[in-house]
Amino acid sequence: MGDGAFLEIRNLGKRFPQRQGREPSPWVIKDLSFTVKEGEFVTIIGPSGAGKSTLLNMIAQIDVATAGEIVFQGSTIMTADPKAMRPGLDRRIGYVTQDDNLMPWRTALDNVLFALEVQGRLDDKSREHAAMLMNAVGLSGYEKYYPHELSGGMRKRAALIRTLVYDPPIILMDEPFASVDAQTRTQLQEDLLRLWSLGRKTIVFVTHDIAEAIALGDRALVLTRQPTRIAGEHMIPIPRPRNVKDIFALEGFAALYERIRAQVQ
């Protein structure tokens, strides 16, 4: 694995606690290993029910692993004790979840500023940065809107920059664009790539959409069905900056798509 690893997952295993009077619960994830380099955009493709969210929850420290090890920036962060979990690991791990999870009582801007606020980092400079990000994703003018007044795509954008604004070294994304229409999704993917090109954060992006995984990632990992392991790894040699809309027409896309599809069961 070497020193190139920024995040390393070693033989990770997860089973949920046994319920009384039932068979021991099966392994959701077993012997799962992979590494992520700094500044790398890794996409993870898995069939539904493959434990994708569980995997990210464990990395984000809001769920405990049953076996294995998670090493981040050189130190082991996995713990089996729920009380010892440190969600977000002192703001070093950002997490964009499948649901936007915006706070309905905060306006779009206040949602974006929430992390800075609780971290005590809210000043003119960080406000300016937030305004820049809002502007970059087309949310200018909607600062004072409550989440229920925004469209699904706008909520996704707000949720995305809410995490980008405090600049964690790694960001986990759990099918963040799954519940929007195809056109909005393409736009969100382009937004994400543009924002990513500004900072080149390390991103672990989970999806069930093979085309999305190819369009966004430097490398795509394919997961098996439960108990989840890595079924295969694919480098994505498409040069950046990429045009998400035309990616299907690129040479090599179809072959890559087919190779991945053959592995996804």
Partner 1 sequence: MTAIDPTTSLIAETPRIPRRWLVYMGRAVLAVALVLAWEAGAQSFGSVFFAHPVDVVKRIGEIAASGQLLTDIIATLRVSAFGFVIGCSVGLLLPFLLRHSERWTAAIEPYVMASQGIPKYALAPWLILWFGIGDTPKVVIVTLMVVYIVFITTFAGIRSVDQRLINMARIAGASETAVSREVIWNSLLPFFFSGLKVAMPRAVSACIVGEFLVSTDGVGHYIEHARELSDTTGVFAGIVVATALVLAINMIVEFLERRALRWRPVERDMEI
For binding to partner 1 (CB under 8 A), which residues are involved? 60-62, 87-88, 90-91, 93-95, 97, 99, 101, 103-107, 114-115, 118-119, 146, 148-149, 162-163, 166
DSSP-based helix, strand, coil % in the chain, nearest 5 = 35, 25, 40
| Minimum gap (Å) between residue 174 Cβ and partner 1 | 11
SS3 label, residue 256: helix
Among residues 111 and 189, whose Cβ is nearest to partner 1?
Answer: 111
| Minimum gap (Å) between residue 7 Cβ and partner 1 | 16
Counting beta carbons within 10 angstroms of the beta carbon of residue 218, is it exposed (0 to 12), middle (13 to 18) or buried (19 or more)?
A: middle
Among residues 83 and 125, whose Cβ is nearest to partner 1?
Answer: 83
| Minimum gap (Å) between residue 214 Cβ and partner 1 | 28
Distance (Å, rounded) from C-alpha 163 to C-alpha 116? 10
151 bridge partner residues: none
Among residues 60 and 134, whose Cβ is nearest to partner 1?
Answer: 60
Distance (Å, rounded) from C-alpha 15 to C-alpha 124? 46
Contacts of 154 (CB under 8 A, 6+ apart): 108, 138, 139, 142
| Minimum gap (Å) between residue 146 Cβ and partner 1 | 5
Among residues 107 and 186, whose Cβ is nearest to partner 1?
Answer: 107
Among residues 174 and 187, whose Cβ is nearest to partner 1?
Answer: 174
| Minimum gap (Å) between residue 59 Cβ and partner 1 | 11
